[in-house]
Structure 1
């Protein structure tokens, strides 16, 4: 019967093996999300006729991302799909964050 330390060691090994196998895809999807997040500020002008305030557009995007998170984590317990979604989402949010600093300066 394995002890807690053996289970923890096996868990860490499993996670490290997953990262070693998929690190290039994780960075690729992160970079795609980051580029989309940075380019978003350039195309914000085209969305202004539909939204009164830019903050309303950002609130809508965050609601879409959060509903995607809810669906992802609800489904991921049953199926191991959509792992690229997390990398794209992280890159997208960091891209928005950096773009906000560019606009503010």
Structure 2
């Protein structure tokens, strides 16, 4: 005889197992994307001088970077998007790199502020 609590616990363990398998499968590529994005975010100050020749206002550069981040997040997190295939995996990779870039900006802001 199965109680409702037993079924809930059983579903919890089975879903946790699936999530763990998915994490183990994708860990390396997500880690590489995060680290690459972090390095790009930390070295963004080096690329700022050549960008200033094209876009003279720094606010426009930051606004463009934020718009790209938000549009990428919209495509990754919308519910109606096809969650399988090469393009979705590529978008997830770009999203992980985006998170790394934003983390690099955050760390770099602390370095500038101190």
Band of TM-score, shorter chain: 0.7 to 0.9
CA contact (8 A) 2:39 2:101 kept: yes
Quick check: 1:42 aligned with 2:46?
A: yes
* Structure showing greater Rg: 2
Q: State which of 90, 101, 109 in structure 2 corresponds to 1:92.
A: 101
- Calculate the TM-score normalised by the size of structure 2: 0.76
**Residue of 51, 54, 61 corresponding to 2:55:** 51
Q: Distance in 2 between matches of 1:33 and 1:9?
A: 33
- 3-state DSSP of counterpart to 1:79: coil
TM-superposed deviation, 1:57: 1.4
Deviations 1:37-84 (A, max 9, x none): 111111111122343432331122111110111112237742232321
For residue 104 of structure 1, report the CA deviation from its aligned partner. 2.4
Q: Equivalent residue for 2:68?
A: 64
TM-score (norm 1): 0.82
Question: Structure 1: where are the runs of 5+ without partners?
Answer: none
Instruction: Mark the runs of 5 or more structure 2 residues left unpaired by the alignment.
Output: none
Aligned length: 105
User: What is the RMSD of the two structures over their aligned residues, measured on CA atoms?
Assistant: 2.3
